[in-house]
Structure 1
Amino acid sequence: MPFALHLLALAVFAQGTSEFMLSGLGPDIAHDLGVSIPAAGALTSAFAIGMVVGAPLTAVLAVRWPRRPALFGFLLAFALVHVVGALTTSFPVLLGTRVVAALANAGFLAVALATAVGMVAPDAKGRATSILLGGTTLACVAGVPGGAMLGQLLGWRAAFWAVALICVPAMIAVLRSVPASGPGARGDVRTELRALRTPRLRTPRPRTPRLLTVLLLGALVNAATFCTFTYLAPVATEVTGIGEAWIPALLALFGLGSFAGVGAAGRLSDTHPKRVLVLGGAALLLGWLLFALLAGNPLATLALAFTQGALSFAVGSTLIAQALYAASAAPTLAGGLATAALNTGAALGPWAGGLAIGGGLGYRGVPVVSALLVALAFVVAGAASATSRVSDQRCPPVPPIGPAGR
């Protein structure tokens, strides 16, 4: 794998840290800026909305730009708004910086995914995707706890300064390591839009779900992930009965599992995508059900935090790779749509978990909702496959994109 991919992952690490670190900084921000804690929570919502809306829009804008200047520009904007956020004393200004940061993050990810798959062999998109997503998982393991600790020691503004500083070596790396040009380095919006009309999922047979189905599956799997991850701390304290001192270790186990899952998917998603999705998805569904049943057992909770993190990110990263295979002629727009789909799931999952808690199911009902979301993904995949079989009987098959799966 090109070393430049690991440098792009450094930028993804900084952006992932920024996205998740506010969960530990909200009370300090609320106190310092004179707003309520729920109002401070709107900073997280603003970022999520910016990612969902901004991913396809910034991808459309970036299609015609050379990738190295686009990556540098998005990363520079991301760093600058964190400087503004660290300096401002106005909550509305801070809220605005979160929206702009999300737009820059979304644009960077869309172009980074297209750049990553363009730097590797046509049959190595899964490995390239896993390296980029490794930055996000490392943010869960080290960046988020580190940001929270820095905020506790030096104030929440220090965490914003730290994110901006991490972006500096990433920007230098983009200028020095990302190819200036090359095949597909500059695209055309109309060409990529036409390419999105009839993409197919990479598989040994042509009768498979199309791109929108893959994106929907990614949204559902990510919704299941964040449904439980968002409430993992109260599940552990209220249901499992472990002390709050164990929460960082529990979150770290989930992060380590996600890192391991992305790494495993990088080795398997290019050669055995169907096995990863079917077997991994089935194990993920079973794991959420076991979590609901065994949440009162501390050892089971710790073990399942690791395994569910691994399975969730293995299946999720494989779906992203399949979206890029499905739209190999429109990599930038596919990257933007995949980013939007994942963040849609990340926004809907906690909402669904909150409904379960408010509806009387309690915290034990949260992993049940995650299991239902994964089950719905299987239903969607099955319905799409059945529809595709009927369609293939009526018209000649379309050759699959990418190498044959096994």
Structure 2
Amino acid sequence: MPLPLYLLALAVFAMGTSEFMLSGLVPGIASDLGVPLGTAGALTPGFAIGMAVGAPLAAVLTRDRPGRGNLLLFVLGFAAAHAVGAVATSFPVLFATRVVAALANAGFLAVALTTAAGLVPRDRTGRALAVLLSGTTLATIAGVPAGALLGTLLGWRAAFWAVAALCLPAAVGIVTGLPALSPREDAAGRPALRAEFARLRSPRLLLVMLLGALVNAATFGSFTFLAPVVTDRAGLGRLWVPAVLVLFGAGSLAGVTLAGRFADRRPGPVVAVGGPLLLVGWPALALLAERPAALLVLVFALGALSFALGSTLITRVLYEAAGAPTLAGAYATAALNTGAAVGPLLAATTLGTGLGTVGPLWAGGGLVAVALSLALPFRAVVSGEQRRGGRRTGAAVR
């Protein structure tokens, strides 16, 4: 894989660390800024909503600028938002910086997805996205625990400063590692914006986006509430929480890496095997959470399955949106983050029911069931093999 892919993944690592580490910093933020815990918790879904809305908006607004310039602008904007957030003395100001950071993150990921796909031959798109998304999975393994530890030792502001600092080497890498194109060269052969938006009339594209959003909703809804499952249902100490989150992250890295080898030519087996296993896996974790050994094994497996299936579906979004080079990455980013925003909100509604702390796990299984029930009648959407030349690119499940 080309070196620029790894430079882009470094920026994704910094941004993923910011998105995920907030769950461990919310109590400190609430105490420091004098707001209820629930109010401070709104920073997480607020960020995801900003990502979902901001991806197409940022892609359109920066359409006439060269790709490298856009990536640099978004990385520096993300760093600046965290620097301002680190010195914020009121919750509204901090919330505003999270919205700005979300817009910058969304714009960067939308452009980076398209850029990554353009750095490799078409039949290696899945592998390129696996490298890019490994930045997110590494954030759950290393960035999030490090951010939580830094927040515990030095306060939540130190964690914000650390994320801002992480963006600087990524910015240098983008400037030195990516080729610079003039606006004219960057726009060569690009269709009109109206034609790119017209791709949203494609039932195939809309369905794959919906499937990706549903699977991601199951992943984030369950991941967000793993901590109480570990401490309350499994009866493990609080120190086990970061260990379990790291285990989930390690599984997600394994899943993304493995799926990247199949997402281009053989997406069918990934969906056909991973989907049913994920459908069974979330309820199995709910039933076996009281057994620590089973919990640890299932957390790793579900991290791998969730990210393998999710990254494969996002790869298919890029294939289905091939006629929209500016907005293809934005469509994929919007699908990912719609799921990330809706999943935790739906999962939270189950906590007050008789299901208790494992309610979000049952909700995750339900969301996967909905995704599979929608995919089954439309198997031609996510299966088949890629054809070159005049032959149609397929994406059907076998």
Whether the TM-score (by the shorter chain) exceeds 0.5 is yes
Contact persistence 1:195–1:329 (CA under 8 A):
no
- CA–CA distance in structure 1, aligned partners of residues 394 and 119 of structure 2: 15
Deviation at 1:191, TM superposition (A): 5.8
- CA–CA distance in structure 1, aligned partners of residues 395 and 302 of structure 2: 29
Q: Residue 400 in 1 paired to residue 392 in 2? A: yes
**Match for residue 317 of structure 1?**
311
SS in structure 2 opposite 1:179? coil
**Match for residue 387 of structure 2?**
none
Matches within 5 A, 1:154-165: 154-165=154-165
Contact persistence 2:256–2:307 (CA under 8 A):
yes
SS in structure 2 opposite 1:25? helix
Letter paired with 1:358: G
Q: Residue 377 in 1 paired to residue 377 in 2? A: no
TM-score when normalising by structure 1: 0.90
**Match for residue 203 of structure 1?**
none
**Match for residue 49 of structure 2?**
49
Q: Percent identity?
A: 58
**Match for residue 233 of structure 1?**
227
Contact persistence 1:328–1:401 (CA under 8 A):
no
Contact persistence 1:76–1:171 (CA under 8 A):
yes
Contact persistence 1:2–1:119 (CA under 8 A):
yes
- CA–CA distance in structure 2, aligned partners of residues 399 and 367 of structure 1: 42
Deviation at 1:94, TM superposition (A): 1.1
> What whole-Å deviation, never above 9, does each CA across 1:127-159 have from its counterpart, x for those lacking one?
111111100011111111111111111221111
Deviation at 1:46, TM superposition (A): 2.2
Letter paired with 1:297: R
RMSD: 2.2
- CA–CA distance in structure 2, aligned partners of residues 314 and 366 of structure 1: 20
Matches within 5 A, 1:58-207: 58-181=58-181, 185-186=186-187, 187-190=190-193, 192-193=195-196, 196-197=199-200
Deviation at 1:184, TM superposition (A): 7.5
- CA–CA distance in structure 2, aligned partners of residues 363 and 404 of structure 1: 37
Q: Residue 271 in 1 paired to residue 265 in 2? A: yes
Higher mean C-alpha displacement, 56-65 vs 291-300? 56-65
Out of 278, 284, 301, the position equivalent to 2:278 is 284
Letter paired with 1:241: G
Higher mean C-alpha displacement, 361-370 vs 318-327? 361-370
**Match for residue 343 of structure 2?**
349
Deviation at 1:372, TM superposition (A): 1.3
Letter paired with 1:41: G
Contact persistence 1:221–1:377 (CA under 8 A):
yes
Structure 2 CA distance for partners of 1:337 and 1:86, relative to 1, 3 Å: same
Letter paired with 1:196: R
Contact persistence 1:64–1:188 (CA under 8 A):
no
TM-score when normalising by structure 2: 0.92
- CA–CA distance in structure 2, aligned partners of residues 63 and 128 of structure 1: 22
Deviation at 1:399, TM superposition (A): 4.3
Contact persistence 2:379–2:397 (CA under 8 A):
no
- CA–CA distance in structure 2, aligned partners of residues 196 and 71 of structure 1: 24
Contact persistence 2:204–2:320 (CA under 8 A):
yes
SS in structure 2 opposite 1:356? coil
Structure 2 CA distance for partners of 1:180 and 1:402, relative to 1, 3 Å: farther
Letter paired with 2:306: S
**Runs of 5+ in structure 2 lacking a partner?**
383-389
Out of 224, 230, 240, the position equivalent to 1:246 is 240
Higher mean C-alpha displacement, 327-336 vs 101-110? 327-336
- CA–CA distance in structure 2, aligned partners of residues 261 and 343 of structure 1: 19
Higher mean C-alpha displacement, 270-279 vs 286-295? 286-295
Aligned residues: 388
Contact persistence 1:63–1:189 (CA under 8 A):
no
**Match for residue 218 of structure 1?**
212
Contact persistence 1:230–1:350 (CA under 8 A):
yes
Structure 2 CA distance for partners of 1:365 and 1:157, relative to 1, 3 Å: closer
Contact persistence 2:353–2:359 (CA under 8 A):
no
Letter paired with 1:42: A
Contact persistence 2:267–2:395 (CA under 8 A):
no
Deviation at 1:88, TM superposition (A): 2.3
**Match for residue 4 of structure 2?**
4
**Runs of 5+ in structure 1 lacking a partner?**
200-208, 389-397
Letter paired with 1:375: A
Deviation at 1:262, TM superposition (A): 0.6
Contact persistence 2:196–2:323 (CA under 8 A):
no
Contact persistence 1:14–1:139 (CA under 8 A):
yes
